[in-house]
Structure 1
Amino acid sequence: MNALYLTIPIALIISFGAFYIFLLNLRSGQYEDIEGPKYRMLFEEENKKQSD
């Protein structure tokens, strides 16, 4: 029972910290375009070959 007095607050602190980091990333726009980078990678290769 004494272990619960320590582990529950630690678990709450860690979970609120993870949620806060998630909110910061959400506000910065990190999750706006999930599909774009994998296609952008392909188009950048084509653009570099055409410019040479």
Structure 2
Amino acid sequence: MFPIFYSYHLVKIEDWSALMDTTGAVALLATVLLTVTILLNVITLVVYRNRTAN
């Protein structure tokens, strides 16, 4: 959440060089977080797949 606000701040103050420097890291972090979220959801699905209520 904070990287989004920081990027917005950089756009508002028109600091394009800082924005170009940090955009790659923000994109990498978002990709890692998305991958971890999907992996955790798949693990939860596999673990609780056979535990449905009758």
Match status 1:11 vs 2:30: yes
Identity percentage of aligned residues: 9
Q: Distance in 2 between the 1:5 and 1:29 partners?
A: 36
Q: TM-score, normalised by structure 2?
A: 0.52
Q: Which has the larger radius of gyration?
A: 1
Which residue of 2 is the match for residue 41 of structure 1?
Answer: none
Structure with higher RCO (Cα < 8 A, 6+ apart): 2
Query: How many pairs were matched up?
Result: 34
Deviation at 1:16, TM superposition (A): 0.3
Q: Distance in 1 between the 2:40 and 2:46 partners?
A: 10
What is the aligned-residue RMSD (CA, Å)?
2.1
Which residue of 1 is the match for residue 39 of structure 2?
Answer: 20
Structure 1 segments (4+ residues) deviating >4 Å = none
